[in-house]
């Protein structure tokens, strides 16, 4: 009997993981990438004797597939994806595919901002508590690769809206939505409701045995909740206690409330991560862990000793009493809002990159309050220059990271902070936000030399 033919579009982390799992489950697998597959991923495919092509797609052959696993970065409007859809070929995300072959508990986290920190913090708590836990999605290893080669009782998964688009039967035991603000509008026809609907797919298939954790003060989230039906038990969190709030702040203590017999507090200044946004991240992670029966004492300890996420408000260095902060992961306006909210010194702000339809009015007031100078860094800074010109004392138009750092050094004085929090994607000048952050750190360290 011939094997079923499965095609994986995209030879990155998720694609290669899906290919390995497909082979394990008896599929005849082809990995097809329009670009070049990285050395590490090519090595895995070679070791597993999985066929692959790069630099283009063999379209006629791909259209014969009985199943396609699509990289989340490939939009549904791509001609090949549309041709497959017209044929009726099932198109799944790697997470959907992997979920069909494991009965592990799933803690799934999404949101426009904070999801990476919350995911890593939740994973840290569960691992420190001695649980057999895997980390997957946008961070960690491919879920499919872990399902193929390892066994975990629980997975903590960071999910983007792109991944959620091709998830259908997958179910989160614990679903977390941190917040929803405009992002990736170019992917969603510049319609906010399309983006919101993609995020809320995280609640699909939940039953009354499952849980939904969310920030109660997010107007987009709460408005959408009013329009949906979900049997999952809701655990909202926020600064203030409302009727059903499960975590809140009371006199500088963070309170977690589950039942009248199960309440614990942690002093806010004991949280290892500073800032209002990290307060919310800690609440969501603590609630998630408590639902998996982690002891309160263990949650408190882990919330106190967690180390910050690279490229998210990451301290780089202090030079001549000027603090340099790498927040390259801030690829949308709301993420930069949280970064500015946490600033306590006069700030020189680096903005710029690939604009995704941004509305900068969200940070306008914080910029006026906290920012002494803006350095625009991108191929085309006209939108930023037009919007912020006249709203700060100094503004510079730069087109490389080195030029931007030099401008910051000229603007900054002892007692200031230089903050890279770009509001934009990195793809105009850099390969990724990690690449942008790494080069920024290197440039800062070179200032000392």
Do 326 and 279 share a structural domain?
no
CA angle 140–423–335, rounded 5-degree value: 60
- Quick check: is 357 in a domain? yes
- pLDDT at 181 exceeding the cut of 90: no
Do 346 and 286 share a structural domain?
no
Provide the angle, in degrees to the nearest 10, between the axes of the packed helices 276-291 and 296-305: 150
pLDDT of residue 422: 95
- Cα separation of 425 and 423, whole Å? 7
- The CATH number of whichever domain residue 233 belongs to comes to 3.40.1190.10
Do 327 and 231 share a structural domain?
no
- Cα separation of 305 and 311, whole Å? 19
pLDDT of residue 225: 93
- Cα separation of 312 and 330, whole Å? 7
Do 327 and 253 share a structural domain?
no
Q: In what order do the strands lie in the sheet with 314-319?
A: 314-319, 322-326, 417-420, 347-351, 371-377, 394-398
Q: Residue 181 sits in which domain range?
A: 102-305
- The CATH number of whichever domain residue 357 belongs to comes to 3.90.190.20
- The CATH number of whichever domain residue 17 belongs to comes to 3.40.50.720
Do 436 and 342 share a structural domain?
yes
- The rounded mean pLDDT for the chain is 92
Do 234 and 280 share a structural domain?
yes
Report pLDDT digits (tens) over 280-300: 999 999 999 999 999 999 999
Domain boundary among 256, 282, 305: 305
Which whole number is the average pLDDT over 203-211?
Answer: 96
Check residue 203 and report its DSSP letter: G
- Quick check: is 97 in a domain? no
Which residues are CB-contacts of 42 (< 8 A; sequence separation ≥ 6)? 11, 52
- pLDDT at 1 exceeding the cut of 70: no
pLDDT of residue 273: 84
Do 118 and 225 share a structural domain?
yes
Contacts by 338-341, CB closer than 8 A, 24 or more apart: 338/113, 338/114, 338/275, 338/276, 338/277, 339/313, 339/419, 339/421, 340/366, 340/367, 340/370, 340/371, 340/419, 340/421, 341/275, 341/276, 341/277, 341/366
Domain boundary among 305, 330, 350: 305
- pLDDT at 127 exceeding the cut of 70: yes
Which whole number is the average pLDDT over 331-347?
Answer: 86
Report pLDDT digits (tens) over 361-410: 989 999 999 999 999 999 999 999 999 999 999 999 999 999 999 999 99
The 10 Å Cβ neighbour count of residue 132 is 12
The 10 Å Cβ neighbour count of residue 171 is 16
Do 362 and 220 share a structural domain?
no
Report pLDDT digits (tens) over 352-369: 998 878 889 989 999 999
Domain boundary among 92, 119, 142: 92
- Quick check: is 199 in a domain? yes
Report pLDDT digits (tens) over 77-89: 999 999 999 999 9
Report pLDDT digits (tens) over 62-112: 999 999 999 988 888 999 999 999 999 999 999 999 999 999 999 999 998
DSSP string, 43-106: HHHHHTT-EEEESS--HHHHTT-SEEEE-TTS-TTSHHHHHHHHHT--EE-HHHHHHTT---EE
Residues of the chain with pLDDT > 70: what percent?
98
The count of structural domains within the chain is 3
Do 283 and 153 share a structural domain?
yes
pLDDT of residue 184: 67
- Quick check: is 195 in a domain? yes
CB-neighbour burial class of residue 29 (10 A; exposed 0-12, middle 13-18, buried 19+): buried
Report the phi/psi class of residue 446: left, alpha or beta, with left for phi > 0 and alpha for psi in -120 to 50: alpha
- pLDDT at 222 exceeding the cut of 90: yes
pLDDT of residue 413: 95
pLDDT of residue 185: 65
Do 297 and 172 share a structural domain?
yes
- pLDDT at 157 exceeding the cut of 90: yes
Do 189 and 336 share a structural domain?
no
Beta carbons of 322 and 413 less than 8 angstroms apart: yes
Do 128 and 45 share a structural domain?
no
């Amino acid at each position: 009997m011939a094997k079923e033919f499965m095609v994986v579009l995209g030879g990155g982390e998720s694609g290669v993981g899906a290919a390995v799992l497909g082979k394990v489950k008896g599929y005849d697998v082809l990995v097809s990438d329009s670009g070049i597959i990285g050395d590490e991923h090519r090595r895995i495919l070679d070791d597993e004797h999985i066929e692959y092509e790069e630099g283009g797609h063999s379209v006629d052959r791909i259209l014969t597939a009985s199943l396609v696993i699509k990289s989340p970065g490939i939009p549904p409007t791509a001609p090949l994806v549309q041709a497959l859809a017209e044929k009726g070929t099932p198109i799944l995300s790697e997470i959907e595919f992997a979920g069909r072959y494991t009965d592990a508990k799933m803690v799934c986290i999404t949101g426009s901002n904070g999801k990476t920190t919350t995911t890593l913090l939740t994973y840290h708590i569960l691992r420190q508590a001695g649980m057999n836990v895997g980390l997957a999605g946008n961070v960690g290893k491919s879920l499919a690769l872990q399902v193929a080669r390892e066994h975990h009782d629980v997975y903590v998964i960071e999910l983007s809206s792109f991944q959620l688009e091709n998830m259908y039967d997958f179910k989160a035991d614990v679903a977390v939505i941190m917040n929803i603000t405009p992002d990736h509008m170019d992917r969603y026809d510049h319609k906010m409701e399309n983006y919101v609907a993609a995020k809320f797919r995280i609640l699909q298939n939940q039953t009354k045995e499952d849980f939904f954790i969310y920030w109660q003060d997010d107007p987009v989230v709460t408005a959408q909740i009013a329009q949906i039906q979900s049997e999952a038990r809701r655990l909202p969190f926020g600064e203030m206690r409302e009727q059903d709030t499960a975590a809140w702040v009371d006199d500088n203590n963070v309170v977690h409330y589950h039942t009248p017999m199960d309440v614990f507090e942690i002093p806010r200044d004991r949280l290892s991560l500073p800032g209002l946004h990290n307060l919310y991240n800690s609440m969501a992670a603590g609630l998630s862990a408590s639902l998996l029966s982690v002891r309160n004492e263990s949650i408190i300890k882990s919330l106190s000793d967690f180390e910050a996420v690279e490229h998210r408000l990451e301290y780089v260095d202090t030079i001549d009493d000027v603090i340099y902060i790498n927040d390259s992961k801030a690829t949308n306006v709301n993420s930069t809002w949280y970064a500015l909210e946490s600033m306590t010194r006069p700030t020189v702000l680096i903005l710029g990159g690939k604009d995704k339809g941004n509305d900068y009015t969200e940070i306008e007031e914080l910029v006026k309050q906290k920012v002494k100078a803006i350095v625009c860094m991108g191929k085309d800074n006209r939108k930023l220059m037009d919007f912020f010109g006249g709203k700060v004392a100094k503004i510079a138009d730069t087109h490389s990271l080195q030029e931007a750092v030099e401008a910051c050094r000229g603007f900054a004085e002892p007692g200031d902070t230089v903050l890279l929090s770009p509001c934009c994607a990195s793809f105009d000048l850099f390969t990724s936000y990690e690449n942008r952050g790494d080069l920024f750190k290197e440039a800062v360290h070179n200032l000392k030399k």
